[in-house]
Amino acid sequence: KLNFRIQIKHNLLHSDYARYEAFHGQAGFITYGINAGGIKLNPEQYREDSSLRARGGNTQAEHPIAAPLRAILQEANSKGKRPPVSSFNHCGMAFAFHSPDVKGILLGVSRLQQLEDSLRFYTAITTYDYQDLYQRLKNLYVQYAGKV
């Protein structure tokens, strides 16, 4: 039997998972693009060299998914006894990690600090239960995928 992985773009705004339905349950998927092009929860978090700005995105206005995400995080972080979820990256990582057939997440970090933060949160999602967060993110994906 061939052991293989398929790389898919998979985030809160877009996922290629359905495109590979013939391989569901057979292949492991490696996700990339979990930050959806560099979206932040607050426009003040964008740096001059931000990924979203480099792609021509508007870093002055709040992204439409940011406010609903902050509400989800407020509820998720009230659960206690687990590290808080504090960024779009954390949301994207939790969404990918708990998605069916996902066997890995490619990180496209540009700074060491981002890598360290991602690795800390990866340790958290492999240690603590974030299924409630995943369910809320999955519902949000249904609302926003392909619409913003």
CATH topology of domain 5-144: TIM Barrel (3.20.20)
State the pLDDT at residue 100.
96
Give pLDDT, residue 122. 98
Q: How confident is the model at residue 145 (pLDDT cuts 50, 70, 90)?
A: confident
Residue 107: count of CB within 10 angstroms of its CB: 15
Please write the tens of the pLDDT for every residue from 28-38: 999 999 988 77
Q: What pLDDT shows up at residue 35?
A: 84
Q: How much is the pLDDT for 53?
A: 58
Sign of dihedral through CA atoms 24, 30, 36, 37?
negative
Structure confidence by residue, pLDDT tens digits, 92-115: 999 999 999 999 999 998 889 999
**What's the whole-model pTM score?**
0.89
Tokens at 98, concatenated: 């708990």
pLDDT surpassing 80 at residue 83: yes
59/119: higher pLDDT: 119
What CA–CA distance (Å, rounded) separates 94 from 99? 8
Q: Is 90 exceeded by the pLDDT of residue 1? A: no
Beta strands 5-9 and 28-32: pairing type? Answer: parallel
Mean pLDDT of 119-130: 98
For residues 132-146, average pLDDT: 93
Mean pLDDT of 15-23: 96
CA distance 64 to 56: 17
What are the residue ranges spanned by the domains of the chain? Answer: 5-144
